[in-house]
């Protein structure tokens, strides 16, 4: 199934904006020059320009190539530029065609570069002269062609091919358009409302070796990666996630109501002195310099303890970070203490993989989408598990066409206005 964005409204609005500014410009020019500004025009200065169109390939016929290689076309943009022909003294110009394709991989192990080289081989065999250049998120493939009657060869077509990644997702799938170097949402809707719903997917428990790590890191939509501290692969996986464009937070182990549950290294216990809690938290964060926030791993006992949580949240605030309540307990005081401190927090709405079954996880993801549509925003939590990775990849077309934008958890923060407002707790088990 081909993935397509609804860009009609965006295109119409962009056209109207450009038209309005163009009309204003011509009106001002008319006022300055007056109604008879062409009266003295010397027709000898008028020049007829011959427009030439060099031969270019039919790129639409190559969409099937990418589908066969496992990539779906998300976005196709076409344009052209008029360039003067050298040596024509302004009497002739040629049209350079421009194409921009954004491709979505349908599996985590697909490599854009190897498929592009295969494409180039087929195009060279067909007689095309090519120029290949690496650009951000992909490649620019140029086609050289002769202009009939001139003896000149020009780059008749530039075909930019991008792979969708968390880094360019906002631009290509999030509805934003570039304006003066910044991304602008032309709809005017405020994100996090039913008109512009958003969803954050947090993946917990990074730091151990797992066959799910690679597929999750290769996911082309933005995830929030919650990394456990001081494990063998904690730093490496955090660096890889950050390099891939995913947001990284510290998944801080905290004591549970079942005190027999092991926390692993870097854990916080309710009977620790405040200074000890602060030292542990700062040490864990020092190993993850790219972390922008903290969430609780387990912690049903600690998140219900006001003294411990105040120390944790004060430290988080001093470091300029945020805290996300995983909501492993209905007794959590995180929101109440955060309200007192004026600290931005996030809050889990739904665990998606308590049952490690692909179809069940897909059902939970759909529940998260529906929740986002209903209330404008939602946060769901999964874990580094093969079934979770498989479900996310299987849901990729549905997520892209859902009308719900995926965002990192840092875009869904709020400062609680009412201490203790923690209604409808969602328990992990």
DSSP string, 110-143: --HHHHHHHHHHHHHHTT-EEEEEEETTEEEEEE
Between 152-161, 183-192, 223-232, 275-284, the lowest mean confidence (pLDDT) is in 183-192
d(CA 220, CA 169): 8
- For residues 146 and 153, the answer to whether their CB atoms sit within 8 Å is yes
Q: The pTM is what?
A: 0.83
d(CA 365, CA 361): 6
Output the pLDDT for position 37.
45
d(CA 391, CA 223): 14
What is the chain's percent helix, strand, coil content, to nearest 5? Answer: 35, 25, 40
Between 178-192, 252-266, 342-356, the lowest mean confidence (pLDDT) is in 178-192
The full set of domain ranges for the chain reads 48-163, 189-412
- For residues 257 and 246, the answer to whether their CB atoms sit within 8 Å is no
d(CA 158, CA 192): 37
3-state secondary structure of 243: helix
Residue 324 sits at the vertex; the CA angle it makes with 323 and 326, to the nearest 5 degrees, is 145
Return the higher-pLDDT residue of 310 and 34. Answer: 310
Give 270-312 pLDDT, tens digit per residue.
999 999 999 999 999 999 999 999 999 999 999 999 999 999 9
Per-residue pLDDT at 154 exceeds 70: yes
Q: How large a percentage of the chain has pLDDT more than 90?
A: 74
351 φ/ψ sector (left φ>0, alpha ψ -120 to 50, else beta): beta
Per-range mean pLDDT, top range of 4-18, 344-358, 410-424 = 344-358
Statement: 189-412 belongs to CATH 3.20.20.370: yes
């Amino acid at each position: 199934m081909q993935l397509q964005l609804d860009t009609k409204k965006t295109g119409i609005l962009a056209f109207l904006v450009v038209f309005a500014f163009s009309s204003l410009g011509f009106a001002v020019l008319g006022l300055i020059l007056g109604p008879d500004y062409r009266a003295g025009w010397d027709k000898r200065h008028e020049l007829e320009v011959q427009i030439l169109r060099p031969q270019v390939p039919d790129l639409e016929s190559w969409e099937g190539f990418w589908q066969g290689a496992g990539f779906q076309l998300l976005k196709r943009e076409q344009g052209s530029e008029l360039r003067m022909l050298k040596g024509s003294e302004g009497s002739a110009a040629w049209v350079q065609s421009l194409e921009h394709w954004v491709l979505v991989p349908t599996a985590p192990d697909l490599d854009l570069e190897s498929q592009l080289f295969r494409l180039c081989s087929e195009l060279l065999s067909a007689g095309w002269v090519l120029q290949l250049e690496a650009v951000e998120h992909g490649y620019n493939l140029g086609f050289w062609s002769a202009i009939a009657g001139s003896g000149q060869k020009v780059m008749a077509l530039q075909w930019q091919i991008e792979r969708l990644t968390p880094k360019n997702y906002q631009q290509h799938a999030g509805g934003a358009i570039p304006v003066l170097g910044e991304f602008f949402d032309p709809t005017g809707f405020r994100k996090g409302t039913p008109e512009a719903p958003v969803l954050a997917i947090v993946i917990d428990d990074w730091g151990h070796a797992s066959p799910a790590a690679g597929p999750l890191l290769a996911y082309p939509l933005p995830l929030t990666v919650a990394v456990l501290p001081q494990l063998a692969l904690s730093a490496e996986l955090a660096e890889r996630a950050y390099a891939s464009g995913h947001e990284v937070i510290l998944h801080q182990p905290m004591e549970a109501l079942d005190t027999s549950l092991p926390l692993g290294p870097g854990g916080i216990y309710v009977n620790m002195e405040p200074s000890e809690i602060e030292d542990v938290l700062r040490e864990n964060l020092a190993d993850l310099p790219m972390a922008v926030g903290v969430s609780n791993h387990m912690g049903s006992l600690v998140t219900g303890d006001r003294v411990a949580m105040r120390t944790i949240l004060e430290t988080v605030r001093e470091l300029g970070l945020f805290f996300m309540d995983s909501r492993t307990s209905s007794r959590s005081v995180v929101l109440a203490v955060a309200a007192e401190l004026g600290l931005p927090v996030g809050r889990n709405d739904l665990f998606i993989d308590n049952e490690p079954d692909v179809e069940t996880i897909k059902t939970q993801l759909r529940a998260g989408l529906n929740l986002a549509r209903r209330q404008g925003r939602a946060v769901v939590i999964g874990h580094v598990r093969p079934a979770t990775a498989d479900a996310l990849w299987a849901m990729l077309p549905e997520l892209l066409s859902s009308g719900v934008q995926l965002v990192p958890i840092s875009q869904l923060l709020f400062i609680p206005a009412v201490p203790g407002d923690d209604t409808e707790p969602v328990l992990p088990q």
